[in-house]
Chain A
Amino acid sequence: MSGFIANTDSDIKDMLQAIGVNSIDDLFVDIKPRHAPHSFDVPEGKSEFEVLERLYGLAARNATNLVSFLGAGYYDHYVPSAVSALASRSEFYTAYTPYQPECSQGTLQALFEYQSMICTLTDMDIANASLYDGGTALYEAMMMALRITGRKKIIMDGGVSPIYRTIIRSYTKNLDIAFAETPVVHGRSNRAEIKKMLDQDTAAIILQNPNFFGAIDDHSDIVETAHSRGVLVLESVYPVSLGLLKTPGEMAVDIVTGEGQSLGLALSFGGPYLGFMATRKEYVRKMPGRIVGETIDTKGRRCFVNTLQVREQHIRRERANSNICTNVALCAIQATIFMSLLGRSGLKDLAGLIFQKAEFARQEISKIKGVEVKRSSPTFNEFTICLPQKASAIIPKMISQGFAPGFPLSRYYPDMEHYLLIAVTEKRTKEEIVNFAMALERALWN
C-alpha cells in the first residue's frame, strides 16, 4: 500500500468491524455523490528512486555553479556541517509547537537560548521565538508600533530594502495608514528631511543598517529626534554585521528586526528563512509571535514554557497582536547552533573578514576604467558600482564568464540602469575577486 500506510487487509477488516460499517466508503456518508470530484487527474505515483532522479534532473537546470557576488540582503555564506547535522535530528524537526512543555523541553530551551542570543546580538531586552522572514518581521514591527503609539503614520527611509518596502505596502492597502518615504541622498538617509517629517502623528520611522546600498550608519541622532516627538524607531539589520557594528540597543532603537538567513540557513531559492525581532521590555506585551519564558516545575527545577500566550490568536482571536501561529522554530534552532559554533570571537572575526574582503573587492573594481565606486559613507559587505554601460548589457557577459555579478538596481530604481549592487562574503577568495574584476573589465571593454 502506498502513502506510508501501515494498515493491512486484516487490520482494515477488524477496524471496520469495530466501527460497525462494511467498507471505507461507508465512512464517507456525509460526502454526498454531488460532492464528488469533477476530476482528480493526478499522475500515477512513482518510487522514491524515480522521484529523486527527476529532482536531481531539475536541480541540474539551476545555475548554482556561478561564483556569486549577488546578495541584496540574502547571502552566500558557508554553513558549518554541524549546523545541518544537528538540525537534522528528527527529535527537533518532526516535533511541533511545544504545547506540552514536559515533552518539549528540547525545543523550548533551544528557543530560549535563541532569544537570548538575538538579545545580546542586537543589544535589546527581549526577543520573540521567530517570525517568517526579514520582510514579514519588519511588517510585524510596524504593526506593533501602530499598536503601541495609537498613531497612523509611518515614515520609511529609502535605505530600507525595496523588497521589504513593497511587502509592507501590499499588507497595508486595506488599513487606514499614511505612508511617507524619504529617498536616500548619495546612498545615505536624508536626515534633515526625516527629522522634518517626524511629527506628533507619526507612529514610527523605519530604518535599515547597513542600508540596502551597503552603507553603515549611526542612527542615534534620528532616534533622539524621533523619541522627542513620541515616534518609535524600527531598524532592520543584517545580523552578521552586528559582530562589529554599533548595535540598535546602543542607538536606543525601539524595535529591531532582520533576516536571519545568514545565520546558518541555506539560500534555498527564497526560503525557509528566519525573521527575528527584539524590543525593549516595556513593549513585550505588544510583541507578536511565540515567546519562550523561564519558570520552575513543581519540584523547583528550571524549565521553559511558551509564555504570554494571551497576546496570541488561539486565545485572543480577532484582537490578537498578530495572526501568526506556525513560525520557523527549526530555522531559529539552526541559527542558535550557528551562533553557538561561531561564538563570541567567531562572529566578530566573520564580520571583520567579510568587511576586509568587500573592501578589497571595491578597490579591485575601482581600478577598472570607467567604473565608479564612489560612496558618501563607509560600506560593510555590499557596495554599489556605476558602470559606463547599462548593467543589463554586462550581466550576460559576466554570466558567460561564470559570475553572478551582483544585483541590478534598476529592478527597483528605474534611474539606476547603470548600477550594480555587489555583495562579498567570507567564501569569496582573493583569486575569485581578482578574476571577477578582470572579467568585468573584459565585459566592458573587449
Chain B
Amino acid sequence: MELIFEKSASGRKGFQLPKSDVDIQADIPAAYIRKTECLLPEVSELDVVRHFTQLSKLNFSVDGNFYPLGSCTMKYNPKFTEQAAAIKGFADLHPLLPQLDNSLVQGALEVLYHMDRLLSEITGMDDFTMQPLAGAHGELTGVMIIAAYHRLKGNKKTHIIIPDSAHGTNPASAAIAGYEIVTIPTDDKGALDFQKLKGLVNTQTAGLMLTCPDTLGLFNPDIDKITELIHAVDGLVYYDGANLNALLGRARPGDLGFDVIHVNLHKTFATPHGGGGPGAGPVGVKRKLSHLLPISRVVKNADNTYALNYNYPDSIGYVASFYGNFGVILKAYAYILMLGKEGLRNVSDHAVLNASYMMAKLKDYYQIAYDRRCMHECVFSAMRQEAQGVHAVDIAKFLIDKGMHPPTIYFPLIVKEAIMIEPTETESKESMDQFIAAMIEAAQLAEKDPKSFKQYPKTMPITRPDEVKAAKEIHCNFFAKR
C-alpha cells in the first residue's frame, strides 16, 4: 500500500484552523526560524480517513480474530470503558490543575485513590502507586523500591535472582536499577530449581523476581518456601504481574509472601493493547515499603476530600511526570467496578478452564513442554514437527491463513520451538475448537507435506518479509537517502 507521503498533492489541506482574531504584528526573529522544510504530507481529510481505514484493515485484532498470544492476555476489551475514558471531565483534565487547587480534580483523585484500594485488596498488598506507565516500567519502579529499602537499611546487596524462564524485561529492569543478575535454572518439572536457589541465595541477595504462575503457565506449590528463603537473608520478592489473570480470587501475591508487585492493567484488567501500548503497570507494596513509593501519592482527608501528598522523604521520587496513564487506569477501574468480586473470580476460573481445555485437546499432537496441570496458558513445543523440518514459526504462519493470530512462539526461551497459547476467559468453546482443528491440521500436514509450510501465509497482503534485509539495510525513515 502507498505511504501517506506518496498520496501527497501540493496545496491540499486536511484541516481548517481558526482564523487569527488578534491584530498584532509580531514576528519571531529570522535567526530562530527553520530553513529546512517540514515535509509532512499534503492530503485532504478524506485522504487521511481512507488511508488509515485501509491500513487498519491490514491488522488482525482481538475484535476481528482469535488472538491467543501467550503471556499477553489478549482478552476482549469492553466497549463501555472506551466511553468512560472519553468523558470530557476526564479527557480534558490538565494534570497540573492540582497545583492550583486539589478541589479542581476531586473526581480524578477519587478514581486514583479507589483504584489503589481495589488493587490492594485484589492482590493482598497494602499500598499502590499508579505512576508506572507499562509493565516493564513497573518492574523498574519495583526494583528501585527494593534498592531504596536496602540503601536505607545500610544493607550491602549486589544482585537480583531471576529465573531463566522470565520475561526479558525482568533482567533488563534490574540491570538498569544497578543490580547484577544471577540466573536460576528451571528444574525438570518446569519449576524454579529450589535446590539450586538455596545454593545461590546469600547475604548479597537483594531480591528475587518471579512471575507466578510462571511463564510456562505453571503455579509453583512451593512458592511460600521460596519467599521465606529470600526473606531469611533480608531479600525482597518481586511479583511480575504478567500472569495475574490466573489467580483472581484464588490466591493473592501479598498472601504468598511477595513484597513488591506490578499489575499489567492492559492484561488482567482488559484495557486495550493499542498495537503496542499504551498500557499501565501500577506497583503495589507491603506496608514496610509504603514510605518508599513514588511521589505524589493520593491521600484521603478526614473530611473525605482527596489531596496529593508529596511529603515522603524516603520516596524514590518521580518515575513519571504525573499520576500514571490515567486514561488507561480509568478503563481498568470501570472494568473492575463492573465485574466485582464474583466477576473477577469467574475471569480466572474460565481463563484456566479454557487453557486447560486447549492443552487437553492438543497434547496428542504437540509435545507438552512440562506435563503438569496448566493455569491460564499452556506451553507446547514443536519439536515433533521440527523433526520433519517444520518450525514453530511455520505453524504460526499457517494459522495466519486460517484467520487466527498465532500464539506466542519461541518464548519462554528455555523451551525449544515453544508455542505458548493463552486463550483467555472471553473466548468461546467454538472459537477454541476452530483453533484446535487448525492446530491439528498443521500437525498432520507436518507429517504429510512438511515442505508446503514455507509458502504460508499466502492469503495476506504480504508474504513472509525479509527480516535480515530490514536489519542490514536499515531504512526506517521515508525521507532518508538510500
Tell me whether A and B are bound partners: yes
Total residues of chain A contacting the partner, CB 8 A: 208
Q: Which of B61-69, B230-238, B382-390 binds A? A: B61-69
B156 within 8 A of A: no
Quick check: A346 and B460 within 8 Å, CB to CB? no
Quick check: B121 and A120 within 8 Å, CB to CB? no
List the B residue with the shortest CB-CB distance to A59. B89
Q: Nearest 10 pairs between A and B by C-beta?
A: A59-B89, A45-B340, A270-B322, A170-B317, A330-B274, A329-B276, A272-B278, A270-B95, A174-B178, A61-B107
Q: Which of B36-44, B283-291, B444-452 binds A? A: B36-44
Contact with B along A317-343 (1 / 0, CB 8 A): 111101111111111010011011111
B347 within 8 A of A: yes
B97 cross-chain contacts in A, Cβ below 8 A:
63, 70, 404
Given A41-B121, A317-B172, also A12-B480 (CB < 8 A)? no
Contact with B along A16-43 (1 / 0, CB 8 A): 1011110010011111101111111111
A178 within 8 A of B: no
Quick check: B249 and A89 within 8 Å, CB to CB? no
Nearest Cβ distance between residue A259 and chain B, in whole angstroms?
A: 8
A164 cross-chain contacts in B, Cβ below 8 A:
321
Given A2-B342, A100-B406, A326-B277, also A106-B55 (CB < 8 A)? yes
B302 cross-chain contacts in A, Cβ below 8 A:
none
A405 cross-chain contacts in B, Cβ below 8 A:
100
A364 to B297 alpha-carbon distance, docked (Å): 38
B266 cross-chain contacts in A, Cβ below 8 A:
326
B207 within 8 A of A: no
A355 to B22 alpha-carbon distance, docked (Å): 11
Nearest Cβ distance between residue A176 and chain B, in whole angstroms?
A: 8
Quick check: B1 and A109 within 8 Å, CB to CB? yes
Given A28-B250, A269-B90, A326-B273, also A173-B110 (CB < 8 A)? no
A250 to B69 alpha-carbon distance, docked (Å): 44
- Cβ contacts A to B, 10 pairs, < 8 Å: A11-B429, A27-B356, A43-B341, A56-B87, A61-B106, A70-B94, A89-B53, A102-B400, A116-B477, A135-B318
Contact with A along B78-90 (1 / 0, CB 8 A): 1010111111111
List the B residue with the shortest CB-CB distance to A275. B133
A378 to B32 alpha-carbon distance, docked (Å): 9
B77 within 8 A of A: yes
A266 to B274 alpha-carbon distance, docked (Å): 16
Quick check: A166 and B90 within 8 Å, CB to CB? no
Quick check: B169 and A100 within 8 Å, CB to CB? no
Q: Which of A123-131, A183-191, A227-235, A368-376 binds B? A: A123-131
Quick check: B476 and A272 within 8 Å, CB to CB? no
Quick check: A59 and B136 within 8 Å, CB to CB? no
Contact with B along A189-205 (1 / 0, CB 8 A): 00000000000000000
Total residues of chain B contacting the partner, CB 8 A: 205
A243 to B270 alpha-carbon distance, docked (Å): 38
Quick check: B45 and A250 within 8 Å, CB to CB? no
Nearest Cβ distance between residue A65 and chain B, in whole angstroms?
A: 9
Quick check: B58 and A105 within 8 Å, CB to CB? yes
A3-B347, A323-B140 given; 10 more Cβ-contact pairs under 8 Å: A32-B221, A37-B255, A86-B48, A94-B61, A100-B406, A102-B464, A116-B477, A126-B476, A327-B277, A430-B21
Nearest Cβ distance between residue A377 and chain B, in whole angstroms?
A: 9
Quick check: B252 and A37 within 8 Å, CB to CB? yes
Nearest Cβ distance between residue A240 and chain B, in whole angstroms?
A: 11
Interface centre among A327, A396, A429, by most chain B C-beta atoms within 10 angstroms, is: A327
A281 cross-chain contacts in B, Cβ below 8 A:
474, 480
Nearest Cβ distance between residue A23 and chain B, in whole angstroms?
A: 10
Quick check: A35 and B256 within 8 Å, CB to CB? yes
Given A119-B477, A129-B276, A317-B168, also A272-B55 (CB < 8 A)? no
B223 cross-chain contacts in A, Cβ below 8 A:
35
Given A40-B252, A314-B411, also A340-B277 (CB < 8 A)? no
Given A51-B338, A94-B273, A301-B462, also A62-B425 (CB < 8 A)? no
Taking a contact as CB atoms closer than 8 A, the residue among B43, B106, B219, B275 that contacts A95 in the complex is B275
Taking a contact as CB atoms closer than 8 A, the residue among B20, B43, B69, B317 that contacts A169 in the complex is B317
B100 cross-chain contacts in A, Cβ below 8 A:
70, 395, 399, 404-405, 408
Quick check: A170 and B67 within 8 Å, CB to CB? no
Quick check: B88 and A242 within 8 Å, CB to CB? no
Nearest Cβ distance between residue A269 and chain B, in whole angstroms?
A: 4
B279 cross-chain contacts in A, Cβ below 8 A:
326
Given A40-B249, A94-B63, A326-B276, also A2-B343 (CB < 8 A)? yes
A446 within 8 A of B: no
B169 cross-chain contacts in A, Cβ below 8 A:
313-314, 323, 325
A308 within 8 A of B: yes
Quick check: B35 and A5 within 8 Å, CB to CB? no
Interface centre among A15, A24, A250, by most chain B C-beta atoms within 10 angstroms, is: A15
Quick check: B318 and A4 within 8 Å, CB to CB? no
Quick check: B121 and A356 within 8 Å, CB to CB? no
Contact with A along B215-233 (1 / 0, CB 8 A): 0001111011000000000
